[in-house]
Structure 1
Amino acid sequence: MSGNSSVGTSAVYEAGDQRNYKTGENPDQPDRFHEGKPHSHQALDSKDERSIANKLAREEKREHEADHKDPETELLQKDATLPARVHGNEPSKGAKIDQELQDEEEELLKQKGKK
């Protein structure tokens, strides 16, 4: 068996070596729909070729997202120990200290009549 020859039986070659695929038929290529990768565009990239309209639309979407806060984030700002307790764990020492400091500050503001 001569492995250097380009002629011979098909058993000499592996399954995909001598195959020619039509355009769009190559199994190694991803589908066009799934081709884009998440976070492939960076907002501050100077070489990004997105149009100005697309950049403006993205900034409007960011502003809209900033207006709507996550309810879990709002609860976290009120109680630092909440995430651990929700998951059935004991809050960390840092979370306990943060909560104590926050409670003390609220009391001081109430005493000063600002809240």
Structure 2
Amino acid sequence: MAGQPSTGTPSLFEDGDERNYSRGAIHEEQRHHLHNPEGYMKKDQHKAMDDMLTKDTQVQIEERYKKDPLYSATMHGNQPSKGARQDAEIQAEEAEMLRKKKEKADNMAGKKLEHKSAREH
């Protein structure tokens, strides 16, 4: 029984620490889900919050699988393939090009506004 809590249920504990969620955290989390745990008993609130946070984590992992070509191999303890590494490089280059284009467009928009203001005076 070493390391096990002497009170409460095992579902309320993680690594020996009780998981408590503030009312604000519960309210904020329910805004992102179609689930309202505020009316639950305390024990059930914690379980509902854990479920919602687990779903959020699963969604984030699924999105990363879709967007990061290296993630799948890394998560399985493997080295990414040459093709996956090339895909990641291309993806990074494209993101950098888009960032530069956006930055350039933002700078040009500011110059047009400044130029227009100078003509009005």
* TM-score after normalising by structure 1: 0.36
Name whichever structure is richer in helix by fraction.
2
* TM-score after normalising by structure 2: 0.34
More relative contact order, 1 or 2 (CA 8 Å, 6+ apart): 2
